[in-house]
């Protein structure tokens, strides 16, 4: 009897996992609607632009990280506009999502979605106003 209940629990857990009930899903934002999107993997400010790589100072811990931008990756603003990579500027506030919302094992992670607050590096979201 005891082993039967263990088997039933294992079967239920397996069904739950197969159905995706316990899986965390990655939802990249869409340019005009980020509702339902996963949280960004990085949030910070650009410290250096040397395409195809950029350096970001991470807001949460102050560390710098280098991120690679694929050649045709569009740059979106939080207001819905889009732009090109060669218009990126030091000081712009950014949010970056990686493929599958995971950094991966690459030394330099590759962005899957890249969003700036504004084309103006002096503009900041309300949570990161310059002092």
Smallest CA-to-CA distance from 90 within 44, 26, 35, 30 is with 44
Which of 13-27, 41-55, 79-93, 103-117 has the largest mean confidence? 41-55
Residue 111 inside a domain? The answer is: yes
- The parent domain of residue 61 ranges over 29-124
Q: How does pLDDT run across 27-82, given as a tens digit for each residue?
A: 888 776 667 788 889 999 999 999 999 999 999 999 999 999 999 999 998 887 78
3 located within any domain: no
Under 8 Å between Cβ of 92 and 121: yes
* CA 125 – CA 58 distance, rounded (Å): 15
CATH number of the domain at 39, please. 2.40.50.140
Report yes or no on 9 lying in a domain: no
Give the contacts of 104 (CB within 8 A, at least 6 positions apart).
98, 110
Inside any domain, residue 112? yes
Does 56 map to a domain? yes
Residue at 14 is within a domain: no
Does any domain span residue 129?
A: no
- Condensed to tens digits (0 to 9), the pLDDT of residues 17-29 reads 454 444 458 888 8
Q: Into how many domains does the chain fold?
A: 1
In a domain, 24, yes or no: no
């Amino acid at each position: 009897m005891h082993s039967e209940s263990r088997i039933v629990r294992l079967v239920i857990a397996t069904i739950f996992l197969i159905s995706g009930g316990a899986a965390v899903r990655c939802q990249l934002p869409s340019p005009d609607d980020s509702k339902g999107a996963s949280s960004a993997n990085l949030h910070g400010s650009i410290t250096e632009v040397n395409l195809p790589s950029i350096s970001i100072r991470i807001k949460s811990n102050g560390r710098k990280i280098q991120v690679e931008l694929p050649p045709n990756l569009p740059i979106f603003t939080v207001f819905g506009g889009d732009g090109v990579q060669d218009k990126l500027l030091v000081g712009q506030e950014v949010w970056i999502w990686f493929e599958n919302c995971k950094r991966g094992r690459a030394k330099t992670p590759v962005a899957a979605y890249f969003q700036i607050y504004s084309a103006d590096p002096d503009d900041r979201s309300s949570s990161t106003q310059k002092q």
